[in-house]
Amino acid sequence: MSRTLKPCPVREVCGGCQLQHLTYRKQLEFKLEKARREVGSFGSVDEIIGMDDPYFYRNKVQISFGYDYKGRVLAGNYVTSTHTIVPVKQCQLADKKANDIFNTIISLQKSFRLSVFDEHAMQGFLRHVLVRTSSDGEEVMVVIVAGSPIFPKKNGFINALLDKHPYITTIVLNVNNRRTSMILGDRSMVLYGKGYIEDELLGYTFRISPSSFYQVNHVQTEKLYRLVSEFAQLKKEDVVMDAYCGTGTIGITLADQCKEVLGVEINKEAVRDAGKNARINGISNISFYCDDAGKYMVRMALQKQKVNVVIMDPPRAGSDEKFLSSLIRLNPDRIVYVSCNPVTQKRDLKYLTARGYKVKKIKAVDMFPFTEHVECVALLKRIEQEVK
């Protein structure tokens, strides 16, 4: 590992870096053991894919504004599972440009006397700031999340921010005046630039808007997707289903290896972004459908449509029995299960292996250094019935 920084001064109260007390090598050992403990009964977990430099890796970061008990303005990170704000000057996980932008906006809030949103009174202006950066640092988006669409001294604020950080390529005002734990609201207005950034991943270009889902660790995402491709063992005649496809990143990176990709996602905005990403990359053998993946698979099975490989990348809660039973009915040759939670992956693998599938390979990937999270990728193959 290339370097070790001084421990974060707020690590004890922030809660964002649960493993900062460990060296990075020890973190990887901890996560590999966690993966083995949960899914090792299905097959050997011999490797965890880590980072050469595990710092400043997050390309999407936000800070929140609020008040302390004395009515003083605070800006920083929420303590895990609370709305208590811990001031942070330099997060060791966040992109360095994002850290600099946050510190400037904190200073500008004071000099421009912008009111801060009060979650109890449900009034005020500045609520959160979200920064997204491209992997090459050439494109930077700043999203100012406010409790009102009326931006006092807007032009002066934007000019001051751009003067300090001329590399910012777009600024968006997002309005969120609801009592919610969600960062973004439903309404956005472009204040500067084109309203989105673009990033390159494994040679493909992806458009990222304020609300787009996109993996936050670019280096590890490329390693993860290469692993998915390795496990999928695609052939030119294969039809692939990308369940929980989001904005289409996995399916798009696999499309040139197979006959056809079907992406299924229940979020309408994600499906729209996925279609745009396919067009940007000139990919014609991929289609995206806004639907429940389980219901979609049942219809395919009833119509006797053949899918060779299913890629599934569910949320932390894993898949439900309805989805898994639909997957069994579809009966693909291979399943590549990408999980951000080996506990729920263990439950789902138990279901699948009891119904005609066998786990052939499992590997772990560290997507979030300094946190307790570990990603596991499992390859399952259908057990062929013995000829009687």
Helices assigned H by DSSP within 46-95: none
The dihedral of CA 206, 210, 216, 218: what is its sign?
A: positive
CA gap 265, 278 in Å, rounded: 15
| Contact predicate 206/249, CB 8 Å | yes
| Contact predicate 134/95, CB 8 Å | no
pLDDT in tens, 33-67: 999 999 999 999 989 999 999 999 999 999 999 99
| Contact predicate 317/348, CB 8 Å | no
pLDDT value at position 69? 84
Any idea what DSSP says for residue 70? T
Write out residues in the chain with pLDDT < 50, as ranges. Answer: 1, 385-388
pLDDT value at position 153? 96
CA 176, 177, 179: angle at the middle one, nearest 5? 105
pLDDT value at position 386? 37
CB atoms within 10 A of CB 196: 19
Helices assigned H by DSSP within the chain: 11-14, 24-39, 96-111, 154-164, 218-232, 249-254, 268-280, 293-302, 321-330, 342-353
**Which residue is associated with the tokens 């060296």?**
23
| Contact predicate 103/129, CB 8 Å | no
CA 252 to chain centre: 16
Helix H or strand E segment including 211: none
- β-partners of residue 311 are 242, 336
Structure tokens at 157: 């604020």
CA gap 156, 341 in Å, rounded: 45
379: CB partners within 8 A, 6+ apart: 231, 232, 334, 335, 336, 337, 359, 360, 361, 362
CA gap 158, 191 in Å, rounded: 8
Instruction: Please say if 14 is a catalytic residue.
Output: no
Annotated active-site residue in 14, 17, 340, 376: 340
pLDDT value at position 258? 98
pLDDT value at position 385? 44
| Contact predicate 228/202, CB 8 Å | no
